[in-house]
Amino acid sequence: MRRSSSRAVLYTGILGIGILAGLAGPALADPDLANNTTPTPGTDIMLELGAAARVAPAFPGADNYTLYPAPIIKLRFLKLPIFGTVADSSKNVGLGLYPAFNFEGERDAADHSELRGLRTVKWAIELGAGVRYTGDFVEAYAEVRRGFNGHHGFVGELGIDAVARPSDRLKLKLGPRLSFADSEYMSTYFGVSSGEATASGGRLSAYDAGGGFRDMGLQFGAEYAWSDRITLYGDAGYRRLVGDAADSPIVKRAGSENQFTAGLGLTYRFSWNVDGK
């Protein structure tokens, strides 16, 4: 099965490269609607739900790419009984917590001749949490996730973006990224056991991948408010594998240290009143 690594991060959503030209959408009744996510009185939940088409390496460290669909989920506003407002993205400045999700598809050597001899790594779900700071001209975040099924390690990411708003509809972001993983994750995707080395016919040497920094790179994005309910998203990024990930024979002999990603999608904003009033 081809890799299908997507991120649907509640509250933050995916970053975007936008459609920077030819976006002559319908006129907004309010010129500030692109940045206005304030719920109407009585609203308890405001969600943006949508989908994106993404291009990414076929497996961690691969030099070939695959196209796949990915969900987009953004929690804009949440009000709970007793607790009150627990999430509100209309607050443009401050700290916020969010749950984080990632999916790594199955890596099967039968689908990739360059991986001959390696065991199959089942699909994995990563669940965790993050903290984000949002300012007028800068955004930063840090998140940690734990894997289930295909791997049981911990992975995390740090990022900071410079933010520009050329118009009321368009928001641009650009900034560096740094990711890390523990030895459980690294050995699963970048390690090679002695048995696997033998099964590969000697093409891949035995390798014990330890935890540490996994990659570093740069991400560019934008989001465009087509209307008060429809938003366009996308992203384009470059990561370079470092440390034990870069030194893995899977990367040296069967892949590449250079990893590129891109995506484009849209969401529709929904609002609900829990008690129906």
In tens, the pLDDT along 219-256 reads 999 999 999 899 999 999 999 999 999 999 999 999 99
Does residue 277 form part of some domain? Answer: no
Query: Could you tell me the sign of the dihedral formed by the alpha carbons of 199, 107, 188, 175, in that order?
Result: positive
The structure tokens 């030099």 sit at 63
Does residue 165 form part of some domain? Answer: yes
Q: Average pLDDT, stretch 131-142?
A: 93
Please give the full DSSP string across 16-36, using - where no structure is assigned.
Answer: -----SS---PPPSSTTGGG-
Q: Average pLDDT, stretch 23-28?
A: 34
Does residue 1 form part of some domain? Answer: no
Q: Average pLDDT, stretch 169-189?
A: 97
Does residue 205 form part of some domain? Answer: yes
For 179, the domain range is 6-272
**% pLDDT > 90, the chain:** 65
Q: Phi/psi of residue 214, each to 5°?
A: -100, -45
Q: Report how many domains make up the chain.
A: 1
Average pLDDT, the chain: 84
Does residue 252 form part of some domain? Answer: yes
231: tokens are 């938003």
Helix, strand, or coil here: 167?
A: coil
**What is the spatial distance between Cα 65 and Cα 183, in angstroms, rounded to a whole number?**
25
For 7-45, b where at least 16 C-beta lie within 10 A, e where not — what string? bbbbbbbbbbbbbeeeeeeeebeeeeebeebebeeebbb
- Between residues 143 and 13, which one has the greater pLDDT? 143
Tell me, what's the pLDDT at 5? 39
Tell me, what's the pLDDT at 11? 32
182: tokens are 């523990």
Q: Using pLDDT thresholds of 50, 70 and 90, give the confidence band for residue 81.
A: low
pLDDT digits (tens, 9 = 90+) for 26-79: 333 333 344 455 666 656 787 899 999 999 999 999 999 999 998 888 877 777
pLDDT surpassing 70 at residue 85: no
What pTM does this model have?
A: 0.79
109: tokens are 């050597």
- β-pair partners for 35: none
pLDDT surpassing 80 at residue 10: no
Query: Which of 234, 277, 276, 242 has the alpha carbon at shortest distance from 259?
Result: 242
Tell me, what's the pLDDT at 271? 79
Q: Which of 101-115, 139-153, 173-187 has the lowest mean pLDDT?
A: 101-115
Tell me, what's the pLDDT at 208? 97
Does residue 131 form part of some domain? Answer: yes
Contact predicate 178/242, CB 8 Å:
no
Tell me, what's the pLDDT at 22? 32
CATH number at residue 189: 2.40.230
Tell me, what's the pLDDT at 260? 98
Does residue 192 form part of some domain? Answer: yes
Tell me, what's the pLDDT at 40? 64
Does residue 148 form part of some domain? Answer: yes
**What is the spatial distance between Cα 146 and Cα 170, in angstroms, rounded to a whole number?**
34
